[in-house]
């Protein structure tokens, strides 16, 4: 499998996870995509860091992936909260920060050819997503009175998140098998 196919799978997987997460969080709220406004002041610097890190040629510049993912992730959270007014989601949305760090670690692991860094990043992503879904369900369904949606409304976003995780994890397994085979030869 080519490196561009791996990158494409990772990007599609992460987009599915992000979009599914936003739609899951938006269930039962007044979701207004055009209400972005001031969170752009957080999103734009994060996007700049990400762009520099993703185009980097050396390890020092690749390290900008960490502030890029964390700042951009924070901007996405703030944008969601700004246009939905769902500020109480901070009660559980903080659990996405290990996911952000895990994404950065995986990218850094691929760029530096560090299997341990990739594996640790993957575990952080999995644990963070489990915590996010668990705490989100707890707060939204029980503490915040269940909102105005039924128990079945989150199924589509959960399926999107699952599909995204499947793509990212499948790609990680196939990449590690390929590298092990190359190493054994």
| Measured CA distances, 100 to 128, 129, 152 (Å) | 9, 10, 28
Q: Where are the alpha helices (DSSP H) in the chain?
A: 3-26, 40-54, 59-62, 65-84, 90-93, 97-112, 115-137, 155-184
User: How many percent of the chain have pLDDT more than 90?
Assistant: 28
pLDDT at 7 over 70: no
- The reported pLDDT for the residue numbered 174 is 73
For 159-171, what is each residue's pLDDT tens digit?
Answer: 778 888 888 888 8
Find the helix packing angle between 97-112 and 65-84, rounded to 10°: 150
- Domain boundary assignment for the chain: 3-34+86-179
For the beta carbon of residue 51, count every other beta carbon within 10 angstroms. Answer: 12
In this prediction the pTM is 0.61
- The reported pLDDT for the residue numbered 42 is 86
Mean pLDDT of the chain: 79
Spatial distance between the Cα atoms of 104 and 121, rounded to a whole number of angstroms: 7
Task: Indicate the range of 68-77, 81-90, 116-125, 150-159 predicted with least confidence.
Answer: 150-159
- The reported pLDDT for the residue numbered 124 is 95
- The reported pLDDT for the residue numbered 82 is 85
Burial class (CB in 10 A: 0-12, 13-18, 19+), 126: middle
CA angle 127, 60, 126 (to 5 degrees): 10
| Measured CA distances, 105 to 47, 52, 125, 172 (Å) | 17, 16, 10, 13
For 27-76, what is each residue's pLDDT tens digit?
Answer: 666 655 555 567 878 888 888 888 888 888 777 788 889 999 999 999 99
| Measured CA distances, 83 to 25, 33, 71, 125, 164 (Å) | 12, 6, 18, 26, 24
């Amino acid at each position: 499998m080519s490196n561009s196919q791996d990158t494409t799978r990772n990007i599609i997987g992460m987009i599915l996870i992000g979009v599914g997460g936003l739609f899951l969080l938006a269930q039962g709220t007044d979701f207004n995509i055009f209400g972005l406004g001031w969170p752009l002041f957080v999103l734009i610097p994060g996007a700049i860091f990400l762009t520099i890190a993703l185009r980097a040629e050396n390890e020092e510049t690749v390290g900008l992936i960490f502030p890029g993912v964390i700042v951009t992730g924070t901007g996405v959270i703030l944008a969601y909260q700004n246009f939905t007014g769902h500020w109480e989601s901070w009660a559980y949305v903080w659990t996405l920060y290990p996911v952000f760090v895990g994404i950065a670690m995986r990218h850094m692991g691929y760029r530096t050819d560090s299997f341990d860094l990739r594996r640790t990043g993957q575990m952080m992503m999995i644990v963070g997503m489990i915590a996010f879904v668990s705490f989100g369900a707890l707060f939204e369904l029980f503490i915040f009175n269940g909102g105005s949606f039924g128990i079945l409304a989150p199924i589509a976003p959960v399926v999107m998140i699952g599909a995204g995780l499947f793509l990212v994890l499948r790609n990680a397994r196939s990449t590690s098998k390929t590298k092990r085979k190359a190493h054994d030869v």
